[in-house]
Every structure is written in C-alpha cells, then in structure tokens.
Amino acid sequence: MTVKVCPECDAEYVPSVATCAECGAELVSSDPDEMESAIAEEAAEADDRDAADLDGDEVSDEPGGDQIAYEFDEWDNASRVLLDQLLTGQGILHVWEATSLVVRADDEEAVDILVEQVETSTLPTLDPDKDQVAYELDDWPDEKRTALADSLTEAGVAFGFDEDDDLVVHAEDEERAESVLDQVDFNFSLDAGEVAAAGDDDDVEGADGDGDPEDGLVAQEVMSELFIAADRLMHAADDHDAVLSLADAAGRVKDLGVPYGFAPGVWDQIVTQSGSLHDQLEGTDSDDDEVKAAAGELRALLRQYV
C-alpha cells in the first residue's frame, strides 16, 4: 500500500493526509515496493528491446534496474519538497525513504542537474512576518506546476506551497506573481493547432492585433537587446553603450503591441520595467545602486523569454 511519510520525523500516514500532525511538515509519497516493481518492469522491457536490436545474438548478462541513493538530511523540508516536484515534473521515477532519495542509476545525470538547480537557486524564502496571498492550483498538472516554479525562480519571486498545495507569495509580489501565472497559464492553454494557426487567427488571447508573425520576431529581437543592456547595467550603471542600447530598446518595446505568445499582463510588465529603468538613467539624480537593482529585475524578468 502506498503511504505518505514525513521527511522530518519519518512518521507514516495514509495517502489522504497532506501534513504531518507532529511537526507540520508537508508529507511525501513513499512506496519502495512499487518502485522496485516499476524498475523491474522497465528493466525487462529494456532487455526485450536489446534482444530485438541484437537480431537473435546473445543478450548481455549485465543486471538492470540499479539504484542510487541521495542523502538530504541537511536540507530543509521546503528544498526537499521542491526537488520532489521537479522530479515529478520531469517524470523521473523516485521514492523517499525519510530524508534519502532513491532513483534509478540511469537517471543519475538528470537528477544531479535538478539537485544542483535546487542547491544553487537564489530563490528568496517566504518571510512569515510579511502579508501573503495564496492561489489555488487544484487543476494544474505537475508539469505546469514545474514550469510555474521555474518561472517564479527566474523572476526572483519568493514562493511556497501551503498545506492545501496552493501557491503562496508575499502580498508585495502579488502583481509580479500574477504576471508569471498568466504567462504560464497562457503557454499551457495553447495546443499545436492554435500555434500553427496563430498567423491567421487574431482572436487568440494574447496574440497581436493582426496576427503578423513578423511582430513576434521583432519582439524577440527587442527583448534580446533589452536583456543584454540590462545585464551590462546591473554590473556597471555608467556603461555608456548599454545606456544607449537600453534607451533605444525601451522605446521600441513601448511602440509594439502585445506579441503572439504573451499574456497582456506580462507584456505590460516588460514595457513598464524597461521604461522605468530608462527614466532612471535619464534622471539627473539617478543612483548607481538603484539603477543596478532595476537592471537586475528587468534582466530576471526577461531571462525566461530570451
């Protein structure tokens, strides 16, 4: 039977329980038998494929289904939960045994990348003393949640998940979070047919007014210019060439309509932040530290689109 365990105190619960009654930590699924069975089944299928590829030659005696374990006893619960969500989003078979993660040896490289992503993440943590807002994500599949977490991380928005698995952010970040939510939701609302028909269909929400694909190419070019300029300005606020490039790109992006593939709220945020940085650079009393901070925010916003 599949059970849920507390990654902090190892207490076991039935699958319907979400939070540990002892320490309040979010529970994770743990069923070693189920994983062993799945690994054995995949190994058998792999052997069958190998046999077919060898055209009747002798099949190797190499044992399949090897596993490796990662120890995360020094990680906090939030980091382990984030890793679990990333693994699920990538479709990587895994199981938790207390604070130890067990995966297939074949998945080691992919898991290492996700572990590094969690360890090196600059994602700020939620401050319990600040006002917070929650968003219900009941109908969001795992891959969509993973995309949301990645996008919020790129945008530098602190976030977490409560006992109901709802997204929680600081109230002061509400506008930025909603822009990311809108963009991710919009991206996942499109199917291949809609994308192919975008040039002929001007009724798709977020598409530019005339459905001209050239506008999307121009937008990508302008965002790349903005990103490079912002990257340089966050390191040197007095970079003359970067200032000129930012001014030109900020003017061009302001004149563009909402390009296809962007939610209006997200595009408005790009226009607003680039315009604000331009105004700071134009001001006679601009502060270098403020310019660098604004440039860093603009770069983080654009990072997921260029």
CATH of residue 179:
3.30.70
Assigned domain for 73 exists: yes
Q: Please, what sign has the CA dihedral across residues 14, 18, 21, 24?
A: positive
Q: Please, what sign has the CA dihedral across residues 82, 115, 154, 183?
A: negative
> For residue 69, what are the β-bridge partners?
102
> For residue 134, what are the β-bridge partners?
168
Percent of the chain as helix, strand, coil, to the nearest 5: 50, 10, 35
DSSP letter (8 states) at residue 59: P
pLDDT value of residue 200: 42
The whole-model pTM stands at 0.40
Examine the fold and report which residue of 93, 119, 145 is the final residue of a domain before the chain moves on. 119
- Low-confidence stretches of the chain (pLDDT beneath 70): 1-4, 12-18, 21-22, 29-65, 120-125, 189-216, 260-261, 304, 306
pLDDT value of residue 207: 40
Looking at the structure, tell me whether residues 173 and 279 fall in a common domain: no
Looking at the structure, tell me whether residues 100 and 156 fall in a common domain: no
Looking at the structure, tell me whether residues 154 and 227 fall in a common domain: no
170: domain range?
132-187
pLDDT value of residue 40: 59
- Structural domain tally of the chain? 3
User: For residues 198 and 214, is the Cβ–Cβ distance under 8 A?
Assistant: no
pLDDT value of residue 190: 55
Assigned domain for 275 exists: yes
Assigned domain for 137 exists: yes
pLDDT value of residue 203: 42
Looking at the structure, tell me whether residues 54 and 141 fall in a common domain: no
Tokens, residue 100: 């130890």
Assigned domain for 147 exists: yes
Looking at the structure, tell me whether residues 111 and 140 fall in a common domain: no
Tokens, residue 124: 């700020």
First to last CA, the chain: 45
Looking at the structure, tell me whether residues 168 and 70 fall in a common domain: no
Looking at the structure, tell me whether residues 87 and 158 fall in a common domain: no
Looking at the structure, tell me whether residues 211 and 293 fall in a common domain: yes
Q: CA dist 253 to 52, 114, 259, Å?
A: 56, 34, 10
Looking at the structure, tell me whether residues 148 and 251 fall in a common domain: no
Examine the fold and report which residue of 167, 187, 207 is the final residue of a domain before the chain moves on. 187
Cβ neighbours for 255, distance < 8 A, ≥ 6 positions apart? none
Assigned domain for 125 exists: no
Which pairing describes strands 159-161 and 67-71: parallel, antiparallel, or unpaired?
unpaired
List the strands of the sheet with 132-135, edge to edge.
132-135, 167-170, 159-161
Looking at the structure, tell me whether residues 145 and 217 fall in a common domain: no
Assigned domain for 23 exists: yes
pLDDT value of residue 47: 52
Looking at the structure, tell me whether residues 215 and 283 fall in a common domain: yes
Looking at the structure, tell me whether residues 20 and 105 fall in a common domain: yes
Assigned domain for 178 exists: yes
Query: Which residue shows structure tokens 């992919």?
Result: 110
pLDDT value of residue 171: 92
Assigned domain for 46 exists: yes
